A and B are shown apart, each in its own frame.
Chain A
Amino acid sequence: MSAPEKPQSSLAKLVPLIGKRVLSSLLTLFLVSLVIFTVSGLLPGDAAQELLGQSATPEQVASLRHEMGLDRPAHVRYVDWLGGIVRGNAGMSYVANMPVGQIISNRLPNSLTLAGITAVISTVIALTIGISSAINRGGKLDSMLNITTLSLVAMPEFLIATLGVLVFSVKLLWLPSIALVTPDASWGQMLRSMALPVFSLTCVVVAQMARMTRAAVADQLDRPYVEMAKLKGVPFSRIVLFHVMPNAVGPVVNAMALSLSYLMGGAIIVETIFNFPGLASLMVNAVTSRDMPLLQSCAMIFCATYLALMLVADIVAILANPRLRA
């Protein structure tokens, strides 16, 4: 981009690059909102008719359509809907008859706590598994861990959760099988009730994360500088910790951000099984009751989170690899 004779500070190059990436994410989010609105708002037919049921008179339907604004053209409804979501006023839930924003703000902190605890635990476990199988490449430990993580990736979330319930709350009677999160519960109680959901989600995420970590570290171990260090007689533990890890941090963080997106798919099943009052189980309820405004807002939150994770992964990759800045 810039002429080679004019040396620029790397920061000056980075800012427009990252800015471009952020803009492209926002554009994608906008297109995603268009898809979600079209699929859930325009295609399924008449929400007013459905709310009132078969016995409603045409006049009743027409007046409800007018009240809900369904008689306006599609693009006006879309702009209205998007504007509402951006301003945090996403309309009324059909079923609960409460503002969607209020329902979501009750649930969101629970989901964030669950995701946060899971993310911390699974990062630690995944790093340990990933690094130890990368440095034992081709060995017994590596192939054992490979088969374990490969199987875990393909395991349905509900199997892990059900087995968890079977072992820990039915056989051993250690943990409750339903996650009741009440505001006045003590920390100990809350941790106990969250233990099984966190365990199930961790299994889902760790496998993916460990595989990507292993790939990132193994890639670094193949580099000539590692061989150089070996030939100079540097102890292997020192090579891994001080030579390889600083170089692998970028790819590893990138892998972490990418695999955290698996949390969302897992959360949908896990929150429902344990009756966890979070956003994902809210979304499943919205699907069952066909509560479109609530469903659309939940879907937008998940998509925005997903895009944010991808964005973080990309930015980390740019920061970590000077060649991507060109």
Chain B
Amino acid sequence: MTGKLTSFLRNLPASGRIGLTLVVFWLAIALAGPSLAPYSVGAFVDQDVFSGASSRFWLGSDYLGRDVLSRVLWGSRYTVFLALGAAILAVCIGTSFALLAAIRGGWTDEVISRAMDTFISIPSKIFALVLVAAFGSSLPLLLLIATLTYVPGNFRIARALAMNLVALDFVQVARARGEGPVHIALREVLPNMIHPLLADTGLRFVFVVLLLSGLSFLGLGVQPPHADLGSLVRENISGITEGALAIIVPALAIATLTVGANLLIDALKPGGKA
């Protein structure tokens, strides 16, 4: 196991290693962050607002005199887990529909594909805005909105993969053996498309992080008292004239997370660079 891991690391190009480090770092922060936070997330601990880095407040304080480090540690938890949840849900739902469409074929495929084509023709941010306007933006709703927004994209990729596999001999053999559709989907087709699906989950994760932090930045995403990294940028926007850390740190946090994930996925792409 460790041997496999080291050879995997050795084969990873430098950009991939940077990406992996960043992703692991943010996952660790999201998991352990709140217990590392030096102050309570909502506590007003500094007399000053937008103060710079100091030994008491490593990353300065925000527009209300709260500790930026603590708020970023907490905020990354919302950002990472909402996005991870939405990406995994979107891939599970999209792939289930894709397997159904590929294995049943015929009009089932026709109807599902047409519906997904319709949803994919609505730009994701526009669709998310319409959903937020209609239903509001509590945390479970945001998770659902981000999921719904990215199901069609995953469906399209998963369906293309499944279609290629369904035409292969071993699936024909399984059909001839009299296996049921569930067995064919889960035992014959799915295991052969797991790698591209994992890469797609990573991509969806990046999209969801960008979508949700964009929404939060507009004030339409995560609502107070909760705050993800996008909300942290928004609430401190008045500090930009002073170049306050309170706005730069959360913005950089999002960027390093998404750029890291992107570099990692790019390095893992089969066949390396084209």
Residues of A within 8 A of B (CB): 28-29, 31-32, 34-36, 39-40, 43-44, 138, 146-147, 150-151, 153-159, 162-163, 165-166, 170-171, 215, 218, 261, 264-265, 268-269, 272, 283-284, 286-288, 290, 292, 295-296, 299, 302-303, 306-307, 310
CB pair B129 A287 closer than 8 Å: yes
Interface segment out of the listed B55-63, B64-72, B257-265: B257-265
CB of B243 to closest CB in A, whole Å: 6
CB pair B263 A36 closer than 8 Å: no
Tell yes or no: B218 within 8 A of A by CB. yes
- Measured in the bound complex, the distance between the Cα atoms of B264 and A151 in whole Å is 11
Q: Which residue on B lies nearest to A289, using beta carbons?
A: B133
Whether A299 contacts B126 in the complex (CB less than 8 A), given A43-B134, A154-B206, A156-B214, comes out as yes
CB pair B118 A35 closer than 8 Å: yes
Tell yes or no: B107 within 8 A of A by CB. no
Chain B contacts of A147 at CB under 8 A?
15, 263
11 contacts between A and B (CB under 8 A): A36-B122, A150-B263, A151-B255, A154-B255, A162-B237, A165-B240, A170-B241, A268-B125, A292-B133, A296-B130, A306-B122
CB pair B126 A286 closer than 8 Å: no
Which one of B121, B259, B273 has the highest number of Cβ atoms from chain A below 10 Å of its Cβ? B121
Which one of B119, B129, B133 has the highest number of Cβ atoms from chain A below 10 Å of its Cβ? B133
Residues of B within 8 A of A (CB): 15, 114, 117-119, 121-126, 129-135, 206, 210, 213-214, 217-220, 230, 233, 237, 240-241, 243, 247-248, 251-252, 254-255, 258-259, 261-263, 266, 273-274
- Measured in the bound complex, the distance between the Cα atoms of B247 and A104 in whole Å is 33
Chain B contacts of A170 at CB under 8 A?
240-241, 243
B217: contacting residue among A39, A218, A261, A269, CB under 8 A: A269
- Measured in the bound complex, the distance between the Cα atoms of B238 and A170 in whole Å is 12
- Measured in the bound complex, the distance between the Cα atoms of B125 and A157 in whole Å is 12
Q: Which residue on A lies nearest to B241, using beta carbons?
A: A170
Q: Which residue on B lies nearest to A147, using beta carbons?
A: B15
Query: 9 closest pairs, A vs B, by CB?
Result: A154-B258, A154-B262, A31-B118, A265-B125, A44-B134, A287-B133, A159-B251, A151-B259, A154-B259
Chain B contacts of A215 at CB under 8 A?
274
Chain A contacts of B251 at CB under 8 A?
156, 158-159, 162-163
CB pair B259 A36 closer than 8 Å: no
CB of A41 to closest CB in B, whole Å: 9
- Measured in the bound complex, the distance between the Cα atoms of B153 and A245 in whole Å is 31
CB pair B123 A261 closer than 8 Å: yes
Whether A156 contacts B254 in the complex (CB less than 8 A), given A150-B262, A150-B263, A287-B133, comes out as yes
CB pair A284 B220 closer than 8 Å: yes
CB pair A302 B243 closer than 8 Å: no
Chain A contacts of B247 at CB under 8 A?
162
Chain A contacts of B119 at CB under 8 A?
35
A286: contacting residue among B15, B118, B133, CB under 8 A: B133
CB of B175 to closest CB in A, whole Å: 32
Whether A303 contacts B263 in the complex (CB less than 8 A), given A170-B240, A170-B241, A288-B220, comes out as no
Whether A299 contacts B121 in the complex (CB less than 8 A), given A147-B15, A156-B254, A158-B214, comes out as no
B129: contacting residue among A31, A163, A284, CB under 8 A: A284
- Measured in the bound complex, the distance between the Cα atoms of B129 and A86 in whole Å is 22
Chain A contacts of B241 at CB under 8 A?
170
Q: Which residue on B lies nearest to A298, using beta carbons?
A: B126
CB of A299 to closest CB in B, whole Å: 5
- Measured in the bound complex, the distance between the Cα atoms of B135 and A44 in whole Å is 6
A151: contacting residue among B132, B214, B220, B263, CB under 8 A: B263
CB pair A303 B126 closer than 8 Å: yes
CB pair B129 A155 closer than 8 Å: no
A40: contacting residue among B121, B130, B254, CB under 8 A: B130
CB pair B240 A162 closer than 8 Å: yes
- Measured in the bound complex, the distance between the Cα atoms of B124 and A31 in whole Å is 16
Chain B contacts of A290 at CB under 8 A?
133
Which one of B117, B220, B240, B248 has the highest number of Cβ atoms from chain A below 10 Å of its Cβ? B240
A303: contacting residue among B122, B258, B266, CB under 8 A: B122
Q: Which residue on A lies nearest to B258, using beta carbons?
A: A154
CB pair A151 B262 closer than 8 Å: yes
CB of A181 to closest CB in B, whole Å: 20
Whether A306 contacts B121 in the complex (CB less than 8 A), given A159-B254, A171-B243, comes out as yes
- Measured in the bound complex, the distance between the Cα atoms of B209 and A158 in whole Å is 13
